[in-house]
Amino acid sequence: MIVVTLAAGQQGASPITREGLLGALKTRALSGRELIGEVHTYGVSFELTTADEEQIRHTGKYLGKKGLDDLIEAIRIPAPKIILLLSGTGSLLKAHRDHRD
């Protein structure tokens, strides 16, 4: 139900808008982990500015410092897409394994 708020007016796998994210934070219905999951799944349609970060931190203060830090990081650094690993070559997979070591 809240996911509808995040994706309000969006079709399919559209990224989350700034307004959708702030709306979800205002309802306080989703945990930080759930919000981060949505950001990783759908991405965001906006570039995070200092003003955006301040507004997210103010609106989502119920998440606590760690929850907000993790959410902001998820917005800043998009989650890697599994499809890249599946469609990549062996050298890409090897590079990924080497990077993890």
Confidence band, pLDDT 50/70/90 cuts, at residue 38: very high
Helices (H), 9-89: 18-27, 32-42, 50-59, 64-76, 82-87
Provide the domain limits for residue 37: 2-100
Look at the pTM and tell me if it is higher than 0.85: no
Q: Is residue 43's pLDDT more than 90?
A: yes
Between 36 and 1, where is the model more confident? 36
Number of domains present in the structure of the chain: 1
| pLDDT value, residue 34 | 96
Cα 69–chain centre separation: 12
Structure confidence by residue, pLDDT tens digits, 8-32: 444 467 899 999 999 999 999 899 9
Percent pLDDT > 70 in the chain is 64
